[in-house]
């Protein structure tokens, strides 16, 4: 996206109420979020010419278009790999706009995860599907590696062994996210901070992961409006310019079970994304005022800080000590509370928070924000963004 940088912007954001039981279908949730995003931008459904979503979203683009009352579509796309797709949807929307295929593209993700399909539950079928993924999973599922928590626990144990990190280091991430969520009225854990002692006392899910190392399951939806910078300047809010967007997969990638690499204590796919973001944007980690880090599990936050270059290998545990990633720390991370504290909408709510930070309208606003880095799901082929002020 080198030649496309700074030509497009996120001009509108919208979300449903995040809950444990929405009482609405995923299609209704998607439509509600899309309406909200268009209203935020000052646009109507007839202005939309493209839609981008996740392969795993239950809602086909044409169904959303029909539900919302959109007209003709000239572009629609789906991005694979779960939460790794979040920033990838914005990348694909930006490419469509910059190339002239579409003028206004909406990205969306809707989830009935808590009251419907539970992503965190074991599913023995994943090891028997007649696909390349089913083949690789057949090596893991019979031995109990059936959930994302179990997969990440393998990574976390190796990371602890190599770098001397402890469960308390992971817990500091959870404490920070819940502190931010406690002052965010939209967050599921609003007014419910935790202490490090409470983290340590929470039950084991898959050692070394405690319950409070794992993100919540949520119902809800988020939508984003992407258009050209020129058009965005004439809309309701100042634009969050897409300074860079990237996708990446590392060598030897196997979904969240890349156990056959020579070293599994890092996230090389995020390194691929990070190198592209810094090169395409012309920025460096020192130019970032706040970061939206995909926090489905706490150990991956530490590794991402290292892959992005905010600290050296194995140094994240020291970087986050003494509130280093809290609002008043050296690098505020997830001021909205992230997926551990606000909601788990496959990272799309994090992109919305990045837009609010650029606008200066977040409930937990970081002072002097000019550039925000955003990451998507980790352990899988992933994606990232840098959003900047106009």
Say how far apart CA 20 and CA 82 lie, in whole Å: 20
Q: Backbone dihedral region of 194: left (phi > 0), alpha (psi from -120 to 50 degrees) or beta?
A: beta
81 included as an active-site residue: no
Q: In what order do the strands lie in the sheet with 290-292?
A: 75-79, 50-54, 104-112, 219-228, 8-15, 240-248, 382-389, 371-375, 290-292
Strand 290-292 with 371-375, pairing: parallel
Of residues 234, 179, 239, the one with CA closest to residue 360: 239
Helical H segments across the chain, by residue range: 26-41, 61-68, 86-98, 132-137, 148-163, 167-182, 196-201, 229-232, 268-281, 298-307, 316-319, 338-341, 348-359
What DSSP designation does 137 have? H
Phi, psi for residue 204 in degrees, rounded to 5: -70, 140
Q: Are 246 and 59 in contact (CB under 8 A)?
A: no
Question: Measured between alpha carbons, how far is 295 from 256 in angstroms, rounded to an integer?
Answer: 14
Per DSSP, 366 falls in state: P
In terms of phi and psi (left: phi > 0; alpha: psi -120 to 50; beta: otherwise), the region of 373 is beta
Residue 28, classified by CB atoms within 10 Å of its CB into exposed (0-12), middle (13-18) or buried (19+), is middle
Catalytic site includes residue 344: yes
Q: DSSP assignment of 75-129, as one string?
A: EEEEE-SGGGGHHHHHHHHHHHHHTTS-SEEEEEEEEETTTT--TTS--GGGGT-
Q: Please identify every residue annotated as catalytic.
A: 294, 344
């Amino acid at each position: 996206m080198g030649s496309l940088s700074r030509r497009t912007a996120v001009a509108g954001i919208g979300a449903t109420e995040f809950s444990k039981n929405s009482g609405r279908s995923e299609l209704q949730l998607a439509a509600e979020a899309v309406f909200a995003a268009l209203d935020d931008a000052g646009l109507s459904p007839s202005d939309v010419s493209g839609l981008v979503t996740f392969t795993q979203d239950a809602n086909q683009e044409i169904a959303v278009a029909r539900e919302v009352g959109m007209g003709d579509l000239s572009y629609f796309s789906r991005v694979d790999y779960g939460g790794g797709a979040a920033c990838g949807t914005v990348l694909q929307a930006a490419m469509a706009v910059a190339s002239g295929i579409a003028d206004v593209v909406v990205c969306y993700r809707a989830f009935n995860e808590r009251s419907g399909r539970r992503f965190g539950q074991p599913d023995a079928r994943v090891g028997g599907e007649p696909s390349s993924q089913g083949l690789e999973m057949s090596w893991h599922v019979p031995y109990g590696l059936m959930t994302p928590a179990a997969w990440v626990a393998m990574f976390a144990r190796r990371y602890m062994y190599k770098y001397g990190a402890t469960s308390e280091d992971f817990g500091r991430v959870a404490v920070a996210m819940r502190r931010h969520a406690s002052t965010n009225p939209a967050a599921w854990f609003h007014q419910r901070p935790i202490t490090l002692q409470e983290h340590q006392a929470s039950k084991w899910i898959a050692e070394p992961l405690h319950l409070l190392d794992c993100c919540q399951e949520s119902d809800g939806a988020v939508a984003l409006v992407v258009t050209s910078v020129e058009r965005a300047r004439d809309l309701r809010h100042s634009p969050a310019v897409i300074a860079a967007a990237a996708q990446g997969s590392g060598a030897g990638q196997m979904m969240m079970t890349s156990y056959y690499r020579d070293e599994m204590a890092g996230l090389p796919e995020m390194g691929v994304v990070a190198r592209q973001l810094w090169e395409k944007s012309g920025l460096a980690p020192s130019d970032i005022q706040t970061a939206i880090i995909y926090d489905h599990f706490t150990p991956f936050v530490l590794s991402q800080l290292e892959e992005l270059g905010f600290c050296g290998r194995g140094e994240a545990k020291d970087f986050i000590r003494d509130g280093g990633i809290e609002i008043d720390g050296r690098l505020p991370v997830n001021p909205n509370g992230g997926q551990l504290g606000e909601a788990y909408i496959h990272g799309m709510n994090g992109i919305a928070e990045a837009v609010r930070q650029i606008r200066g309208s977040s409930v937990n606003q970081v002072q002097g924000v000019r550039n925000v880095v955003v990451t998507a799901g980790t352990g899988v082929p992933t994606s990232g963004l840098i959003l900047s002020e106009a």
